[in-house]
């Protein structure tokens, strides 16, 4: 008998006679099996779930969807062949279930599927904490992202200001959070302010705070973002929108390491690291006179440039799958994969909104997709007729390359087969064999 401590919990919901006949095989394989009706299934914890899906469930699928949404595991549907042929059953099963089985059971296949579902459920449980936010990690393996990670590792240990430059949607806030997490201030607060989102007449009090009674309406003391970030990191996004008057105040904070709240309070010492970000050229703003040159030099002493997504095509599929997993968990649905045409359409797209645009399009695709995969039109992108053409296997590519090499060398050395063979790095008999293989005369 298997060790009870190592048993995996299997819940069979609304079981049929075939399900009951399967019990001895499941027990022998190490499963701790329990059964339940659908209304009580949410109260029964399990590692994997099996639902005997009937026509009644399909006529009113809300209870089934709620069960799967609120459980932290994978579900397998069991149907008769007749039920599987019902209208829209295939789409419903593919959308909500990890896999399905038709009756009568194939015991060996059932056990394999249960094992795969258990493994996937464990992965889902382990990855869920890291997917609380879709932007909580710097994902990608392209050269630009590898170089960015390497640079952030170097800059994190410094305590000097860092200017983060990049187009809208490239992840400037994520880079700032990464610098904070890797720094010695990681246990301190991370306070972010979008300078473009706060009206100019409120921005000074928001940043520097306000003593009690400083304003005409006698508001109580307001703690500014600079003070709130004490001992940690202050991130000012859209720094180019900071008014000139506040630029002078921020420069004094950097130079003298103290600030003055609105209302004439004595200066207060400040210990924060300043990170700033912009999606437009601050150098041009300096030339126009809308940004102080001395502040620009302070902020730009260390800087980071984030590559746009169109320069990171190698990361597209990885990022898209990440967002599909995240939003799949958010909705409680099994994440769909992307069709070849969808991947090709993503590769052609210029991504003016960068990673933020990709996240929004994937979320849209999960909602609109009707088949097993997300298609280009679900993402709001145009598919090409060439996308439907199969790419071929690696052997196909090798075959075409070999044939092209023979044609190229014959174009240049058609009167000297010995020289042609030497150019290709093969013997003369091998050269003749390749000509026969490709039917080249």
Q: For the segment 304-317, what is each residue's pLDDT rounded down to a tens digit?
A: 999 999 988 888 88
Q: How much is the pLDDT for 4? A: 44
| Residue 377 pLDDT exceeds 80 | yes
CB 235 within 8 A of CB 176: yes
- Cα–Cα distance, 410 to 419 (Å, whole number): 10
> d(Cα 28, Cα 32) in Å, to the nearest integer?
10
- Confidence at 297, pLDDT banded by 50, 70, 90: very high
The tokens describing 194, both together, are 């979008």
Does the structure show a pLDDT above 70 at 191? yes
Provide the 3-class DSSP secondary structure of residue 440: coil
pLDDT band at 5 (very low <50, low <70, confident <90, very high): very low
Could you read off the pLDDT of 156-171 as tens digits, one per residue?
988 999 999 999 889 9
pLDDT band at 175 (very low <50, low <70, confident <90, very high): very high
Q: Is the pLDDT of residue 236 over 70?
A: yes
Residue among 228, 192, 193 nearest 210 (CA) = 228
Using alpha carbons, select from 26, 2, 276, 326 the residue that is nearest to residue 164. Answer: 276
Comparing 158-305 with 312-387, is the CATH topology the same? Answer: no
Look at the domain 158-305 and name its fold.
Rossmann fold (3.40.50)
Q: What are the distances in angstroms from CA 318 to CA 311, 313, 337, 368? A: 15, 10, 11, 21
Highest mean pLDDT among 95-104, 105-114, 174-183: 174-183
Please state which CATH number belongs to domain 4-127.
3.40.50.2300
Q: What is the DSSP string of 23-73?
A: HHHHHHTTEEEEEE-GGGGGGS--SEEEEE--HHHHHSTHHHHHHHHH-SS
Contacts 24+ apart (CB under 8 A), 86-91: 86/55, 86/58, 89/58, 91/370, 91/371
* Residue 91 reports pLDDT greater than 50: yes
SS3 262: strand
- The fold of 312-387 is Helicase, Ruva Protein; domain 3 (1.10.8)
| pLDDT tens, position by position, 276-292 | 999 878 889 999 999 99
Q: Measure Cα distances from 249 to 4, 208, 231, 246, 275 in Å.
A: 67, 9, 20, 5, 16
Least confident of 21-30, 85-94, 130-139: 130-139
Residue 25 structure tokens: 């095989």
Residue 231 confidence class, pLDDT cut points 50, 70, 90:
very high
pTM of the shown model: 0.59
Q: What mean pLDDT is reported for the chain? A: 84
- For 125, residues 6+ apart whose C-beta sits below 8 A from its C-beta are 72
DSSP letter for each residue of 139-186: ---SHHHHHHHHHHHHHHT--S-EEEE--TTS-HHHHHHHHHHHSTTT
pLDDT at 395: 75
| Per-residue pLDDT tens over the stretch 141-152 | 888 998 999 999
Domain extent listing, the chain: 4-127, 158-305, 312-387, 394-437
Phi, psi of 383 (to 5 degrees): -85, 155
What pLDDT sits at residue 286?
Answer: 92
**Confidence band for 124, pLDDT divided at 50, 70 and 90:** low
pLDDT score for 30: 86
What proportion of the chain, given as a percentage, has pLDDT over 70? 88
> What pLDDT is attached to residue 130?
36
- In the predicted model, is pLDDT for residue 392 greater than 90? no
pLDDT of residue 133: 40
């Amino acid at each position: 008998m298997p060790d009870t401590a190592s048993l995996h919990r299997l819940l069979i919901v609304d079981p049929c006679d075939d399900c009951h006949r399967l019990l001895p095989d499941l027990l022998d394989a190490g499963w701790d099996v329990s059964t339940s009706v659908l209304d009580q299934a949410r109260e029964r914890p399990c590692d994997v779930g099996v639902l005997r899906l009937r026509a009644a469930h399909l006529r009113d699928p809300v209870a089934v969807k709620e069960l799967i949404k609120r459980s932290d595991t994978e579900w397998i549907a069991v149907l008769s062949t007749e039920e599987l042929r019902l209208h829209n059953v295939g789409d419903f099963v593919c959308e909500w279930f990890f896999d399905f089985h038709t009756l009568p059971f194939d015991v060996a296949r059932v056990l394999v599927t249960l094992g795969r579902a258990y493994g996937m459920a464990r992965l889902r449980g382990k990855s869920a904490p890291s997917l609380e936010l879709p932007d909580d990690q710097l994902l990608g393996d392209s050269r630009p992202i590898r170089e960015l990670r390497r640079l952030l590792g170097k800059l994190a240990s410094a305590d000097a200001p860092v200017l983060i430059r990049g187009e809208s949607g490239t992840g400037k806030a994520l880079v700032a959070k990464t610098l904070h997490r890797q720094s010695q201030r990681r246990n301190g607060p991370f306070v972010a302010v979008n300078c473009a989102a706060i009206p100019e007449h409120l921005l000074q009090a928001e940043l520097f705070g306000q003593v009690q009674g400083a304003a005409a309406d006698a508001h109580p003391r307001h703690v500014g973002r600079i003070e709130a970030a004490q001992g940690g990191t202050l991130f000012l996004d859209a720094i180019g929108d900071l008014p000139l008057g506040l630029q002078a105040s921020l420069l004094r904070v950097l130079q003298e390491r103290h600030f003055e709240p609105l209302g004439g309070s004595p200066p207060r010492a400040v210990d924060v690291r300043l990170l700033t970000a912009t999606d437009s050229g601050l150098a041009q703003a300096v030339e126009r006179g809308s940004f102080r040159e001395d502040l620009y030099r302070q902020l730009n002493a260390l800087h980071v440039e984030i590559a746009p997504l169109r320069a990171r095509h190698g990361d597209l599929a990885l990022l898209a799958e990440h967002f599909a997993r995240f939003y799949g968990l958010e909705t409680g649905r099994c994440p769909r994969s992307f069709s070849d045409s969808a991947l090709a359409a993503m590769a052609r797209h210029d991504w003016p909104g960068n990673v933020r645009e990709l996240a929004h399009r994937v979320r849209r695709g999960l909602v609109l997709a009707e088949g097993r995969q997300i298609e280009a039109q679900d993402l709001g992108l145009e598919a090409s007729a060439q996308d439907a053409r199969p790419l071929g296997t690696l052997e196909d590519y090798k075959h075409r390359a070999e044939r092209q090499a023979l044609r190229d060398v014959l174009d240049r050395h058609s009167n000297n087969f010995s020289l042609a063979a030497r150019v290709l790095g093969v013997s003369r008999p091998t050269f003749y064999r390749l000509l026969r293989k490709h039917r080249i005369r």
